[in-house]
Structure 1
Amino acid sequence: MNIFHFLSALPLLLGLSSAEPQRVVSRVTVVQQTTIFRIPVRPHAASPLVEWTEQKGPKCVPATEIVAALLSSPNSVDFVLRDRSRVRARIDEDCSALDFYDGFYVQPEDERLCARRDEISSRMGGSCKIEKFRSLVPQFKR
Structure 2
Amino acid sequence: MNLLHFFISIPMMLGLSSAEPRGVSSITVEQTTIFRIPVRPHATAPMLEWTEGKGPKCLDAGGIAGAMLSGRDSIDFVMRDRQRVRARIDDDCTALDFYDGFYVQPPDERLCIKRDEIRSRMGASCRIEKFRTLTPSLKR
TM-score normalised by the chain length of structure 1: 0.77
Q: Name the counterpart of 1:113.
A: 111
How far did 1:104 drift? 0.2
Residues 87-132 of structure 1, C-alpha deviations (whole Å, 9 max, x = no match): 0000000000100000000000100000000000000011000001
Secondary structure of 1:64's counterpart equals helix
How far did 1:46 drift? 1.0
- The reply to whether residue 37 of structure 1 matches residue 18 of structure 2 is no
How far did 1:68 drift? 0.5
Aligned-partner Cα distance in 2 for 1:45–1:36 = 27
Q: Name the counterpart of 2:12.
A: none
Q: Which of residues 43, 47, 60 is equivalent to 2:45?
A: 47
Q: Which of residues 38, 42, 59 is equivalent to 1:61?
A: 59
Q: How much identity, in percent, do the aligned residues show?
A: 72
- Name whichever structure is richer in strand by fraction: 2
Q: Which of residues 57, 74, 77 is equivalent to 1:76?
A: 74
Aligned-partner Cα distance in 2 for 1:115–1:50 = 27
Q: Which of residues 121, 128, 136 is equivalent to 1:130?
A: 128
Q: Name the counterpart of 1:85.
A: 83
- The reply to whether residue 104 of structure 1 matches residue 102 of structure 2 is yes
Moved over 3 A (4+): none
How far did 1:36 drift? 0.3
- The amino acid across from 2:130 in the alignment is K
- The reply to whether residue 94 of structure 1 matches residue 92 of structure 2 is yes
Residues 70-89 of structure 1, C-alpha deviations (whole Å, 9 max, x = no match): 00001000000001110000
- The amino acid across from 1:119 in the alignment is E
How far did 1:141 drift? 2.1
RMSD of aligned Cα (Å):
1.1
TM-score normalised by the chain length of structure 2: 0.78
